[in-house]
Amino acid sequence: MRFEHPATFNPIDQLKVIGHPTSRIEGPLKTTGTAPYAYERHDVVANQAYGCVVGSAIGKGRIAAIDLEAAKAAPGVLAIVTAENAGKLGKGERNAAPLLGGPEIAHYHQAVAIAVASTFEQARAAVQLIRIDYAKGDSKFDLAAVLDTAGTPNPSFGGPADTDIGDFATAFAVAPVQLDATYTTPDQGHAMMEPHASIAAWDGDKLTVWTSNQMIAWGVEDLAKTLGIPKENVRLISPYIGGGFGGKLFLRADVLLAALGARAAGRPVKVALQRPLMFNNTTHRPATIQRIRIGAERDGKITAIGHESWSGNVIGGEPEMAVSQTRLLYAGANRMTATRLAALDLPEGNAMRAPGEASGMMALEIAVDELADKLGIDPVALRITNDTQVDPEHPERHFSQRQLVQCLNEGAARFGWNKRNPKPGQVRDGRWLIGMGVAAAFRNNLVTKSAARVRLDQQGRVTVETDMTDIGTGSYTIIAQTAAEMMGVPLEKVVVRLGDSDFPVSCGSGGQWGGNNSTAGVYAACVKLREAIAQKLGINSEEAVFADGVVRTGNRNVPLAQAAGGGDLVAEDAIEYGDLAKTYQQSTFGAHFVEVGVDADTAEIRVRRMLAVCAAGRILNPKAARSQVIGAMTMGVGAALMEDLVVDKRHGLFITHDLAAYEVPVHADIPHQDMVFLDETDPMSSPMKAKGVAELGICGVAAAVANAVYNATGVRVREYPITLDKLLAQMPEPV
């Protein structure tokens, strides 16, 4: 199905099932521990062995010598695979560095070996016996030290590296009010609950991998390319994923080494990356240094806005596109953005929840707050003053929907923003200094092809099959709701099967594109199934009503199960969007409001209240969507106050590489969170009239926290995370 304009007749608009706060259909499996995650698939293949991965002990250099003899002789050892005996390996299109290192080492904890044994304990013991001598090479581990070597990267997923509209330099120079500030964000880790884990089994030259992966088709393509085998010989199965946040978008070492280990051992092998290995071996959100310059008239109207960002990555890696939102969020005739990428020998940086915007909003929305302070204008009012209904870089292109102003106004009213004292450090509650902060939320809405197959059986059940994945976002449920709405059956009559490369290729889970596109693909397949049913019954599909398990037309009522008499009816189709993305700028918007308390003596920060107001098209399942947003808000608090993959600049590793040292928010850190969805449908986005929402919830949160800390204390921190040591020396004198 090609979607280029709003559907005239749309069964989804009935809203009998879609749009209702529906509990997860797979929830009972997860809460009873019977949902099989990758490492737990004991029954899928017999005679499973265990693999344990060895990570490089240096950050850059080469393996000078490796001694495997003691490890090979250890009890239970079946095989040891290194680059020396792995055979010729390619590199997946989406991998910047080889997943198996040797003799050259690209980064710390790059996998260099796997030991396979009959038990996990034997495999773990064997890797302790592997002896490796390294020769360190010249290395670069400090982003700030290599800024002068940073170059302009090629256009990436986030668009061109640079943009230049009007005459930024002149407009900024003559602006009556100017802001010029630099902000830094640290490296951050995904820290998902489930580790990267895989079970690999060969059947002749055919490979099946049960794994934890967000993008099945990408994984198949890159694994086949790495192993040098036809992609038709690779099957990936990933029905349940215990969190990903972008860290499982791409092929990682667990998948490759499980496959190599299984081939060498001659039996299936399961591998789970050890938690301390994951932070350096897999991808992370790269650190940034961002300079923002804004020029404005005294009434708050922005006349010049410039945003420059520097990040680093391994050779072949992409930049963190932290300037993306600045191209679209606020009006201003004279604009400039620039992205620079430096070569670093740290582990690969790549997508993490809201890549680009999450980091960019951490800086931009403090800068806007600072500008409001300079102007003496309320921060909410300043944002509203600079709203735009067109793409500022391409004014001929309108936003399909843009309710940023409504989000700000609704949030301000609900949060009691009018009670905020604009003068910092003036409000106390006992020993606590109290402050409020605000930030806009922005994340682009991406449309991409997505396919599904639907089957009607003789019991009136509808089965949906697509390689779409569920990373805890509720894909199973919204896909079931879509099929139930389209086919006129109750939810319990729908079976959803996900995460298998034998199924039609979907959009996959990432970039907050999963919900809208995957359900639109199911919509397309259901339209085709409705047509097949109508044709079999000899009726006009456009006149047929599918409801209550019955097909109705005129005075004729036919049970849906009867339509499948003689055999299942199967239909397959995909949603495709044509030039839709070029015609309209599609984005999601919101506003975050935060209240903090800062201890006047210790500078301890406590978040007291949070509110998010989001405009993200039709909300397909408010219950699941709310869960996604408050989870993202929680991640935003972590980014603001604690998360930091601290770089050891001598040895090139993240020293906070476990969940003891890499701090994330816990229950005590997060107060009750309130969130509101504006009533919005976007008919330009898809037949579902929905958009993404899962990543919108993190964008701007950290800045809202930072702005609240400033309002509480008068101390402006531009270096994340905002830890008490950055506040103490500048705290107000005790009253």
pLDDT for residue 8? 57
Closest-CA residue to 348 (of 606, 111, 529, 146): 111
List the domain boundaries for the chain. Answer: 11-36+448-576, 46-138+196-243+248-277, 288-446+583-728
DSSP letter (8 states) at residue 585: B
- Residue 377 is which amino acid? I
> Which whole number is the average pLDDT over 7-22?
90
Can you read off the two tokens belonging to residue 490? 């109750």
Q: What is the set of active-site residues?
A: 695
Would the CATH topology of 11-36+448-576 be identical to that of 46-138+196-243+248-277? Answer: yes
pTM: 0.97
Q: Is the pLDDT of residue 7 over 70?
A: no
CATH code, 288-446+583-728: 3.30.365.10
Q: Is the pLDDT of residue 282 over 90?
A: yes
DSSP letter (8 states) at residue 622: H
Q: How many residues does the chain have?
A: 735
pLDDT for residue 58? 98
pLDDT for residue 6? 58
Q: Cα–Cα distance between 6 and 9 in angstroms, integer?
A: 9
Reported confidence tier of residue 5, pLDDT bands at 50, 70, 90: low
Q: Which residues of 501-535 are buried (b: 16+ CB within 10 A; e: fewer)?
A: bebbbbbbbbbbbbbbbbbbbbbbbbbbbbbbbbe
| H or E segment to which residue 279 belongs | helix 275-281
Over the stretch 606-665, which tens digit does the pLDDT of each residue have? 999 999 999 999 999 999 999 999 999 999 999 999 999 999 999 999 999 999 999 999
Burial label for 729, CB within 10 Å (0-12, 13-18, 19+), is: exposed
Can you read off the two tokens belonging to residue 15? 């809203």
Please state, as a whole number, how many other Cβ atoms lie within 10 Å of the Cβ of residue 733.
6
> Which whole number is the average pLDDT over 530-537?
94
The values of phi and psi at residue 677, to 5°, are: -100, 125
pLDDT for residue 458? 94
Reported confidence tier of residue 734, pLDDT bands at 50, 70, 90: confident
Domain range 46-138+196-243+248-277, CATH architecture:
2-Layer Sandwich (3.30)
Over the stretch 100-120, which tens digit does the pLDDT of each residue have? 999 999 999 999 999 999 999
pLDDT for residue 735? 66
Domain 11-36+448-576 fold: Aldehyde Oxidoreductase; domain 4 (3.30.365)
Q: Are 496 and 469 in contact (CB under 8 A)?
A: no
